[in-house]
């Protein structure tokens, strides 16, 4: 296997092409064993975006989404912290299990879908990236994002459904990435969620970071709760377990908190109420897009399966509402943009929409959380 990791665009394309090839996993694992990511040359994000656009030149252009300014009259003397939450759709599930009946298999080709995912990430330049359903971490996201300056963490599901799919790329799980130039890792916890005292197949990552610019500590967490109708009590128990873990990590809300996740739960579910009413004093950032600031978006996922059309709000960015301000949030795709065949599609790589928010610290650090 040739592991060309130079700075030039042609060499970058060589690496990108290698990660695009789902059959090159073992080759790329060899590369990772030989080369620590910290020793690899950095990538210019513009070069990577350019290479992705070459791969995607036969696909429609990216949808235009605009940020909605939510900032009140509070001044902030530091750069906002941009957080991106996204269930990117595991490749093995998209091709082998999810049955998107209106989505052509051609649109799910990893060689191109991977570039659509990268293009979305590069377009919004998050300081912190929280992903679910990541099954190409070691051969794609870790080698590329580490070279963009991110510190990378991955926690796979113990019994990932991806492993049931022939020619899979390993288990899917949650992944977290933060820019090392902006933050220092203080502590990190991989959490296997429990329900009714039993260990479950769902996981979370919680990391306490120190912001270089302000010196402030905060905790960022990512999770993906149990899917499917009929598992509401199970999700509720998982949510309780996660909240208890986060209470311990944040010392009972002394450290500000942001929780990103695909909760697989509508706002009517008990687990949503648990987070809303928690002693951690959390609010859901995307509620702020509604006219009254009290309603979640009408959907964060929209797909068509053999059983029919599924349009749900399942994805959230929760935050400590007295310690953090939401400066802006990325607007969702409209129904017209999504189109009649829904998601995923040639235009958009996942069945879930990415959520992106800009946060700033409350300027009074002694204010009660």
pLDDT 10s digits, 164-186 = 999 999 999 999 999 999 999 99
| Angle 98-129-142 from CA coordinates, rounded to 5° | 80
Segment 255-292, tens digit of pLDDT: 999 999 999 999 999 999 999 999 999 999 999 999 99
pLDDT for 3 equals: 35
Residue at 101 is within a domain = yes
pLDDT for 77 equals: 79
Res 33 pLDDT > 50: no
| Of the candidates 214, 264, 223, 265, the residue with the CA atom closest to the CA atom of residue 242 | 223
Res 227 pLDDT > 80: yes
Res 21 pLDDT > 70: no
Res 14 pLDDT > 90: no
Q: Token match 């690496």: residue? A: 15
Percent of the chain's residues with pLDDT above 70: 87
Residue at 48 is within a domain = no
Strands (E), 164-314: 173-179, 183-195, 198-211, 217-224, 257-262, 282-284, 301-305, 308-312
Q: Contact at 8 Å (CB) between 357 and 86? A: no
Secondary structure letter of residue 105 according to DSSP: G
- Which residue segment(s) compose the domain that 329 sits in? 79-364
Residue at 276 is within a domain = yes
How far is it, in rounded angstroms, from Cα 23 to Cα 355? 31
Residue at 2 is within a domain = no
Residue at 11 is within a domain = no
How much is the pTM?
0.90
Residue at 157 is within a domain = yes
Q: Token match 């959230």: residue? A: 316
Q: Contact at 8 Å (CB) between 315 and 261? A: yes
Burial class (CB in 10 A: 0-12, 13-18, 19+), 133: buried
How far is it, in rounded angstroms, from Cα 6 to Cα 8? 6
Segment 42-89, tens digit of pLDDT: 999 999 999 999 999 999 999 999 999 998 766 677 899 999 999 999
How far is it, in rounded angstroms, from Cα 113 to Cα 347? 9
Residue at 12 is within a domain = no
How far is it, in rounded angstroms, from Cα 236 to Cα 25? 37
CATH of residue 98's domain is 3.60.10.10
Which pair of tokens denotes residue 150? 């991110």
Which pair of tokens denotes residue 227? 């899917």
Q: Token match 């592991």: residue? A: 3
How far is it, in rounded angstroms, from Cα 235 to Cα 244? 14
pLDDT for 23 equals: 44
Residue at 29 is within a domain = no
Query: Domain total for the chain?
Result: 1
Segment 91-150, tens digit of pLDDT: 999 998 888 999 999 999 999 999 999 999 999 999 999 999 999 999 999 999 999 999
């Amino acid at each position: 296997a040739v592991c060309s990791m130079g700075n030039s665009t042609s060499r970058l394309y060589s690496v990108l092409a290698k990660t695009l090839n789902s059959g090159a996993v073992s080759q790329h694992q060899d590369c990772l064993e030989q080369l620590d990511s910290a020793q690899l040359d950095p990538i210019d994000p513009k070069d990577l975006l350019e290479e992705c656009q070459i791969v995607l030149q036969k696909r429609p252009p990216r949808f235009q989404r605009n940020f909605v300014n939510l900032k009140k009259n509070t001044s902030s003397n530091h750069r906002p912290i941009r957080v991106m939450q996204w269930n990117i759709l595991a490749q093995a599930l998209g091709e082998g299990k999810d049955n998107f009946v209106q989505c052509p298999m051609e649109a799910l080709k990893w060689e191109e879908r991977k570039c659509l995912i990268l293009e979305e990430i590069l377009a919004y330049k998050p300081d912190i990236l929280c992903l679910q359903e990541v099954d190409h971490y070691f051969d794609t996201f870790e080698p590329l994002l580490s070279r963009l300056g991110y510190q990378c963490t991955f926690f796979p599901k113990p019994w990932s459904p991806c492993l049931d799919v022939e020619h899979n790329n390993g288990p899917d799980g949650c992944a977290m990435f933060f820019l090392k130039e902006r933050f220092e890792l203080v502590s990190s916890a991989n959490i296997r969620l429990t329900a009714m005292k039993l260990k479950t197949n769902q996981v979370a990552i919680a990391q306490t970071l120190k912001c270089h610019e302000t010196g402030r500590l905060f905790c960022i967490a990512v999770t993906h709760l149990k899917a499917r109708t009929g598992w509401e009590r199970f999700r509720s128990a998982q949510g309780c377990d996660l909240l208890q873990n986060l209470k311990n990590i944040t010392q009972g809300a002394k450290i500000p908190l942001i929780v990103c996740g695909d909760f697989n739960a509508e706002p009517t579910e008990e687990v949503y109420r648990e987070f809303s009413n928690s002693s951690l004093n959390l609010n859901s950032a995307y509620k702020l897009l509604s006219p009254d600031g009290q309603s979640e978006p009408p959907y964060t996922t929209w797909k068509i399966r053999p059983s029919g059309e599924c349009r749900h709000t399942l994805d959230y960015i929760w935050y400590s509402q007295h310690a953090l301000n939401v400066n802006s949030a990325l607007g969702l795709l409209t129904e017209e943009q999504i189109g009649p065949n829904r998601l995923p599609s040639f235009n958009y790589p996942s069945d879930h929409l990415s959520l992106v928010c800009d946060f700033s610290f409350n300027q009074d650090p002694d204010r009660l959380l």
